[in-house]
Amino acid sequence: MPYVNIKITREGATAEQKAALIEGVTRLLQETLNKNPATTFVVIDEVDTDNWGIGGESVTVRRQRDTG
C-alpha cells in the first residue's frame, strides 16, 4: 500500500505522460518491493513556476533568463 507523491512544475505534462508516470512508478514498486498495484496510490501535483524555487529564485525567473 505505498503512497507516492510526485511534484513537478506546471509546464504542460500531458495526460498520457502522467499516465506513464503512474504506470511506471506502480510497476517499479511491484518489481522492487512486491507491492500490490491495487493498493498503490500515485498522486501528481503540478506547481506554478512562480511557486517553485531553486537556487533562491523562482523557476519563472530562471526560465525567463534562460530564454532571454
* Residues designated as active site: 2
For 6, the 3-state DSSP assignment is strand
Q: What residues between 9 and 48 interact with a second copy by CB under 8 A?
A: 9, 13, 15, 17-29, 32-33, 35, 37-47
Q: What is the DSSP letter of 47?
A: E
Within 10 angstroms of residue 7's Cβ, the number of other Cβ atoms is 10
Neighbours of 25 (CB within 10 A): 17
Q: Whole-number minimum distance, CB 43 to a second copy, in Å?
A: 6
Contacts with a second copy by CB under 8 A lie at: 1-9, 13, 15, 17-29, 32-33, 35, 37-47, 50-61
